[in-house]
Structures are given as structure tokens and as C-alpha cells.
Structure 1
Amino acid sequence: MTDGNSSTWWQSTSLQQLKLSGNGAGNRAEVYITLDLGETYYPETITIHMCDTIRPGRLAVMRSADGLNFDPWLYLVTNGNRDCRMFGVAKQRDPDSPESVVCREYAQLEPQLYNERITVSLSEVPPSFSDEALLRWQAVRHLQVRFYDMDLVMGTSADQFDHYAVSEISVMTGCECNGFGKGCEISADSGQYECICSGNTQGRFCEECQPLYNQLPYQPGQPCQGQRVHLTTIGSWSFYKVRASGPMTSANVKFTCEAAGMRYPCFASGRCTGGWTPDCIKYDDAFISCETHWVLSFHLCGHDNPYRCEPLDDTFVYMDDWWSDGSACGMKYNTDKYWCVTGADVNNLYALCADLNECEPSPCVHGTCTDDIGGYTCTCENGWEGTNCDLTSFNGECYQFSSTTLTHQDATQACSSKNGHLVDLTDDQQQSFLADKLAASSGASNWLAIKSAPIAFLYSNGSTFSGPIHWSSSEPAAPCDLCVLLDSNDNFLARTAPCTEQHNYVCQSDLKPCEQNVCQNGGICTSCFNDTAAFCDCPAGFDGKTCEINPAPISSMMIPYRCSSASCPDGMYCTEEGVASFSCKAG
């Protein structure tokens, strides 16, 4: 908390006047400043910025819950134990309990004549302190700073000129640096606390991207990415050049790619062992060349000479332990150099990076896949939800259709890990629903929860199977270590099979109210499988995935008719009669 105004300050009267008033007598403070913080805070530091006077010989920081009764919290002194004893305590740098009173020497032993900043750290506690103990130690609502032992710079004969002046008292509850602060420091220009930023961010609170890292809009909590340009796609790998910061070493190329959420190629494609390590991607070079720059040149420029391929200018590729200085291998356009430009001596150029196309093949079972850096997004068809558009609902239950095959036991465990269970088939309506969805999905046979016991078939919860479902002919077989599936070869009728066979499966979960309602316009939100999917039941007149569509009445969508010279025959004039009508009248 600061007023942010460096042109104002607080100043006491002279020491002579203070003493005439009884201040400074015995162990009384010469002056004190009291602050009401408005609510209880848990500061990490308190900074007192002196103005044109020297700091006090002793300083007391007091706190209070009611603003009336202040208790000692922390003392700062010049002469160690001698000064601490004047406060009635022993020298103690760190608290040993939340109720401790700490007495420390000033961090800077020699006082400054002007503009000294006295910083009191409240975050230095023993490792044994719990989070609760730390909060109790730091808690303060009303703060009081007391000054003792004014240093008479001009001597006793001129003490009428001596006073205290304070420019600012800052109570810092921590650096709010949007997740990228490595600490705080006081700006020499503004005198305000500013974050020491990482993640290619800058600003007092790390609230903006540095130049060369602002191609994408700033997002709180996300590192700023360097300028990146898509070069080409080879197989399932998309190649980019990404702006780096600092020397173009292999370590920095690796860091730049990973910070952008990408992988990185080596000097070689992986078909050849020289210039390639297992940490790099491996891609099909189609026998154009073993070297990445040469392969990219062929795809970008139609020839295998990267020094004559302008898109590769100033790009550097990872080259493990080739040079002792850790250089990456770079290309410089339109030169006669036919070997790598070493990167350790050049800065802020481009790293060659690669991103896997997660949409090949598409993981979206019932939707359209959009490839993103380091991931993908599915846009689901109507009635389907979930990350991979493989979730749907029916009669108050949620169903997820797998795209992989497992044994019955493994399928049971897979559903359980999602806070669900293998589907319990209980009636013919549910069977028809599942048959339609399976035919539109994998088209394969799928495990049900039903499995045999010595004398009966059981549901997932161990109860006896009793549902009226449709079986294949000659089914169900006598219970004998068998499990039940819906058979894709027999119109998804129920059939028994050995439980060790591998088949697709359907997981089931109860629908429950969403923890966070994503439905708009009064829609009712339900979710399943640990809130991985949400369904909106929209009120009348609204539609869309989150009830966001409000179809306008037809009348409001009609375009009003506008008369023109062609509206009526010659000799008559046009009159607009309504939204979409007009009349012709004799002139």
C-alpha cells in the first residue's frame, strides 16, 4: 500500500520541540506513525522510505487488531544486543512462534544520509513454520512505526534543525506478477515495487509481452511466445521458426521450442545417426537428405540448397555436442558458406521447432478436429460432448464410447478411473439407444458390465442381472466365466464371450448438477465423469451448446421494403405500406 506520490512526504517537528513535549524521554518514542490498512493483511515486507533525514538509531514496528492497543512485532536496531535490551528483548533474527517478538540489526549497517529505504522482511521464518503459523505471524490490521534515537547530524547545538521525514511506507503482501515473478525489487525511477519478470514478460506486474514475443495477445499465467512462422509440414510434423532470446546455442533452441509448447528437430532427420539424439523428433526425410535444413529447403524452395532458400534465413537447428561452445547450426541466406553458421556468437534469431499434428488421425469421434500447438480442439456434433466428442446422454445417464479395445477386467478398471462403470444394460430402450450410437461410432462389438457368477449373471454393482434385453439366438449361455457384449455382427444383440477377449467398451456415469454452470439464458446444467462433459437443457426459445442462441422472431428478421423507380408502372408512385409491402398510386 503506497500513495504513489513521490512529491509528498510526512515530516515531524524538530527534536528540540519533540523533547519539550516529552517525546523521547526515557524509553518513549520520539515520534510514531500509525496506519489503518482497512482490513487484515498478511504482508511479506514493509518498507519505510526516508526522505531528507537519516534513519532512527532504533525503530519499532507495532501491530494492533483494534487500533487502540499496539503490541511489539519487530525491532530494528543499530547496536545489536545492547539496543535490543533497551526494548526488553534479546537479539533474535527470525521468529520461533507466531507470537514471537523479533529484534534485528539493520540490514544495511551504515545509514544513508538521504533517501534510505528500510525494508522489514516478514517472510523469513523457520522451515518448521506451517502455512497457518506463517499467516498468524504476518497478520496485521493496524500498523504503527515508532522512531527512537534521532541521529543529530548537525550536532547538539543545531538540533532545532533535526527532524524525521518519511516519503513512503509500503506494505507489500507479495508480488502479484501474473505467475511470472521471480521476486520484487524497488524501481530506481519510480521508487515503487516492481516484479522481476520471467517467461518473456515485462511491466511492473509482468502484465505484457516483451518485444519480439508479442505476436500472440498476452494471456495472464501463460508465457509469452516468440514470433513464430509456419514453414512447412512433413508427414505428421509441422515445422516452425520461432524467435529466440539470447545466444543461438543448442540449449537455447531446445528451451525456445519447449517454451512455445513444441518439440525440436535435430541437425539430422533420425534416419542417419550422426547429428541426431533420441530427444529430437524423428521424421520421414524421403531420402532427400539426412540433414534437416536440406530437407526443409527441398519442401520450401524446390531444391536442397538451404543457403539459397530465403525462408530458412537466420534459422538454427539443435546440434548436440558438436561444438565446445554449445552452438546450434544456423543458415545465412545467399552466402557461399556451405556449412553451419555457429550460433553461440549471434543473438535473438530463430529456432527451428516442430509440432505434431494431433488431428492425424482425428481423435474426435463425433466432431471436427482443429490442430493447436501442443494439442487439439474438437468441435462436437449436436448431442455429443467431451474432449473427443465421445460422450452423450440418455434418460438421466451419461455414456462414453471407447476407441480402444481392452479385456473385460481392464475395461472395468478404465471406466472406474473416470469415476464411472461399465454400462449396465437394463432394458430394451437403452439397448436400442446404444445400438444406434455404436453403429454411428466404432461399429464394433462393445463390452457391457454384465458378467457371470457361478449360478447367475451380475451387474457392475454385484446385483443379479434381471433386465429384459435382446439376446442373440441360443444366448445367454450357461454362466461359466463369461462376460456379455453387444455383438456388432448380430445387430448389437447381447452375446456372451470369454472375458479375456479384447473389445471396445462403453462407460456409464450418473448425470449430476454442474459444479460450474456453463449454460446461458437460464439453461439447466448437468455433468458427468468428474465434470469432463456438461449438457445444457435449454428453456423454450433458446438453442445451442450452451443455450446461447436466441432465434429472433421472423418479423424482426425481415428486411424492410424500400421503394425504387422500378417498383411501379410509369405514371404511378410507390408508397411503402409495411415491413414488406408497398402500393402503387396514380400520380
Structure 2
Amino acid sequence: MWKFLLLLAAVGTLPAASVGEQVYLTTFDNWYFWKIRATGPMTNANVKVTCESAGMRYPCYYSGADRCTFFWASDCITFHHHVGCSTLWALSSELCGHTDGYGSQCQPLDDTFVCIPGWVAVSDDSAYGVDYDTHTWGLHGADYNNMYALCAVPTCGRSPCAHGTCSDDAVGYTCSCENGWTGRDCDQDMDECASSPCAQGTCTDEVGSYTCSCENGWTGLNCDQNIDECASSPCTHGTCTDGVGTYICSCENGWTGLNCDQNIDECASSPCTHGICTDGVGSYTCSCENGWTGLNCDQDIDECASSPCTHGTCTDRVGSYTCSCENGWTGTNCDQEIDECASSPCAHGTCTDTIGSYTCSCENGWTGLNCDQNIDECASSPCTHGTCTDGVASYTCSCENGWTGLNCDQDIDECASSPCLLGGTCLDHVNGYSCVCPKDTTGKNCETVPFAGECYQFSPTAAAHPDAARACRAQDGHLVDVTDQQQQTFLADKIAASTGVSTWLAVKTTVIFFSNGAPFSAPLQWSSSEPAEPCDLCVLLDSRDSFLAKTAPCTEQHNYVCQDDLKPCGQNICQNGGICTSCFNDSAAFCDCPAGFDGKTCEIDIDECASDPCQNGGSCHDDINSYTCICPTGYQGDHCESDMDWCSQVTCPLGFVCQDFTFYFLCAHPTPITRGVKYKCNSASCPDGMYCTQEGVASFSCKPE
């Protein structure tokens, strides 16, 4: 069933946009009249397209009734109205009750255009239009855009349904089609063959039905049932397979023919090569001659069939066989294994016998197929800093000086023994070390230091008292003599800061002497544990008793301190006027630097400008033990700390007043108007190093060049 819906349906192809606004006008002579908003110029062609796009038809300027066909064409609708031929007159009469202005004075028809074939007054296919606002008719549609097209839809009174029943509604009609018909107006024969209902046949369309002409082998209303040709059991000794219009027989063994009704003679091909053939149904039997076997008596009896060669290849003979053994096996049937280890092939390893071969498990340090090659453990160069000596399953590294470890890859830390004394810092090197000594301390191990005009050398090793005394004398010195408490405190502090162990003094024997042989009479502070009259013992500073003096057997091993006088250096190593003193045969030297210099050899010029002493942007020039500030213009003083008073140092011309501006000064006459004559700069206007600039009628400035 098709329903003609004016507001929803669209018929045909609209080349422009979709259907525009639709306005229902009126109904008469079984036609619904509408005006529809068009897109583009109001030509006859556009009016037609607009109506067809809305699923409607269109009227012409005349009705097409009797004697009203002048401005009409056969594709336009035909209607009758009592007012005459004009479509716009008829609509104006129905809508507004009059025909004044050819419809231009009827408001519902405002901006409405109607198709007008044969309008000779124009050549641009213009439709005919009316305008209510100006009461103008005969508008050329080609000059107007987007106005209304006049369209129409028939009612059921015009019997639009060719093969169906028509039903009117408010905006159109609906056709309920008879069986076999379709389309909006039930005017299209429905093709029942369109769905291809005939599976194996040809379809013939009829009104409301169809007929199938089946292909060979098919039957049924839709030719979809295969005819079973096997239903009559045509295969006598076989199985029937139905085909399309035919059948196929699959015969049982021994039978042939179209219907499997002929016995096959299996002996006809003489299958028994060395024997007599007996035919059966679907088979035959061979009676073999002597020495032959097999279904067709074509196989020589194989003595190798029982696989007599256990590990070899069997060759069949007439009534016998021979074995060709695999590698590693022997015997008639190749069932005896050959022992490859019997010859002891592994020189330094254990032999394992395998089939046709052997393997050697080598002892540690040996390799090769027969374990007869010594592995060179030195081949990988394992000794990082040393020489490698190969052994059996091992190697030995002879390390270079300064290196240790299994592979000579560990740097010996020469600082581990803390060789630097008296606060020195140890720096480890490869096969050595160096000490960074504090100020006024020298020696390879920072062991020598001056104090109160004397030179002291602290030993890093221990010795018996006599050996210690000889060691000091060998350096043109002697074991230290403690002559006052200040010296003892100095020694105790230095020992505590370095070795921290008990240390020999020069004092010894029952009658105590100094190193020069003079009797001991110094106020030496003794430990409370000492006897009132010491025996023949030597004296040390005891580390366990705050480095107080204590006697001990002279054979004990203790560290010691050598003492020597400070003397002028044999060769002056001090720079920049430093005074050089040395001790212990010039093995230790000290520099007393003049003011302004520093460093071990007075090599460092102290930068007195480092503290930025110059103020107000002054630049500092470093001198020896002094500095000089170069002040910017306008400042003075040792540190550029004072503002320069220009006016106290210069004299302006008579009658002029000086004004100080820090970096320059200005001379100005207090009454420039009364002066009369303009001041001119000259060579005497400013001090040397400044230039004159006229600043007005009666003033000038002096600024640094």
C-alpha cells in the first residue's frame, strides 16, 4: 500500500537543494492546490522540478479544459472552474472570493508563480507570477529567485489508483493495491520472478503468481527437488549414487559393467610371475614355484629378512647371506663391539669407549683429542701488571713494582702505613708515595720541623737506644736533649700528632749526662713510677703516661728524635730575598720569607689586592707587601674613600661661583643677564687634564679628558 504524503515524500531528482516550505491553499475539482518554496530563479523548469521533488504535479497558467489549452501543455493537470480558463483566477475566486488583479490582490497567492508554456512575450522560460504587496501580475519568473511554485495533488475523485482502492486524507490519498500490483498508484505489475523462486528452472511471471519450467532431473513447484534415479535399484552388485538426471554404480570387488552385473576374470592379466593362477570372485590365488614367494610369486625368498646382521648391512645370496659390519663392530653377524680404549689413547685423561670411537676426559690443565696438549693459562694474559709463568692447570704472576694480587691488578697503597708524619697528607702513586707537608715542616715524610732555633727530625722506625744515637750522629746531629718544659711539651705534641709512640731521649746511665758529656742538671719531669735513684737505664717519653719521662732498658726498640742546630744554608734555595737555614747536613732547609712573600721557597708574591681594598670603583695595583689604589675621577685618598672637593682646588674667573658635581665642576656667573658678554672657553679656563665646555651665556664646565 502506497500513501501519497505531501509533507514527507519526494519523487524524482531535485538538482538543487531539498524541498522548501509547503503551504496548502485550497481544494476543488478533485485537486489539492499547494504553493512550495523554490530554490533559484522562477523559471518553468524550476517550477516543475520543485513540484516533482515534493511528489506533486503542477498546473499551467490555463486549466487545460475545453477552449482553455492556449497556455497549457499535456504534462500539466486539467481541471474545470466556473470563472474561466486562468488558474490564478480560479484560485483567487476560491481563496479570496474575487478575481481582481488576476490573482495579485489575493493575499494567499502572494509571490506565487505558475508554469506558462508558450509565453511569447519572454524568451527566458520565465514562469508567470503575481505579487500581492504591489498588486502586480505578469511577473517574469527569471527575474525572481526563491519564490513559491504552484503545485497540485489529485484526490480520490480522480481515481488515481489504477489497480487498487483509493482513500482520501487531509493532505493526499492512499492506494491499497490489488494482489500482483505495486507502485504509488498501483500501476506497476509486481514481478513475482524477481526473487528467482525457480531453483533449477526458468520462471514465467503472471499476474499475482509465477510458473517454473524445471531442468532435466528436477521437479517440484520451485524445481528444487532432485529426481532420485536410484529408486529402481539399477546396480546388481554395487552401490547406486544418484546424480542430476542420471546415476552411477560403484561395483563390488570382482564385478563390472554399467549396472555391475559382469564378473571380472582376475587371471586374465597373468599376475602369477612364477606360479599358476586360480580365478575367484574379486580375487585370484597363485601357487608358487619352488624358491619363490609373494602374492604374485615374484619375490625371491630373502634370507636377510630376519635381519641377522646386528650392526651391519646384509647382502642376500641364494640360500645364504653376508654381513658388512658398521664401524666399531665385528663378527659373522656384526654383534661384537671393538674396544677403541684398549690402546690407552688418552695421555693425561680417562678413556670412555663408544661405538666406533672413544672420548677422553682430560685431567685439569690438559686438552686435545688425546689429552696430550698442556693448556697455556698465560694465553689470556691474566697478569695485568706483571709477567706470567705457565704451569700445569695454573699460572704464576711476577708483579711489577708497586703492584700485588693474584693477577697483579691491585695497586699497592704505599700510604697504608701512614708514612707522612707531623700532619702531612699522603698521596699514593704507583710504586711510591709523596707527602704534602704543613707549613714549616719538610722531609720526604714531613719528619723535620724547626723550633726555637733548633731542628728536630722524628724517626718513623724503632731502634735500640745505642742504634738511635748512631743514626742521629750519622746525620751530623744527636738524640734530642730536653732542656725545658716548653721543649718537652713541643715534642709531646708533635709525637702525639704523628707516630703516637714512646720515643727515646738522649738521657741515659746512672749518672745522667747530656749528649755533650756535661752532667745532667735540667728540670726534667719524671714519671711517679720511677725510683728515687734511677739505675743504668735510658730515658724515653712514655706514650702511655702523657709523654712524661720514663726509664727503660736501653736495648728496647723505640722511635727516636734527632736534634741539630739551624745553620745558614750551604746553597740558598729561598727566592725573593728569603733567609735560608738548614740542618742535618743541609738535608732539610727552611725559608724565612720577607714581608709580601710566602711559600716553601718564598716563591709566592702575596696579592694584597685580593681583599678588594679600593673603594668607589677604584682599581687596585699590587706591589711588594703593599698596593696602590688608582681612583676614578671625583674620588681621592689611599682607598679612594674621599669625595674630591673641586672648588677648594680651583679658582673660577672673577665674579663666577664654583659648583662641585663630584666628577666635574661648573663656574657660573650669578647674574648672567647683567654680565652682557658671553663667556668663551680658553686654555686657562680648566686645570690640566680637563676640557672646558660652555654651558650658557655666563657659565662653563670643566670635565676630565
Specify the TM-score bucket, using the shorter chain as the normaliser: 0.3 to 0.5
Larger Rg: 2
- Of structures 1 and 2, the one scoring higher in RCO (CA 8 A, sep 6+) is 1
TM-score, normalised via structure 1 length = 0.37
TM-score, normalised via structure 2 length = 0.31
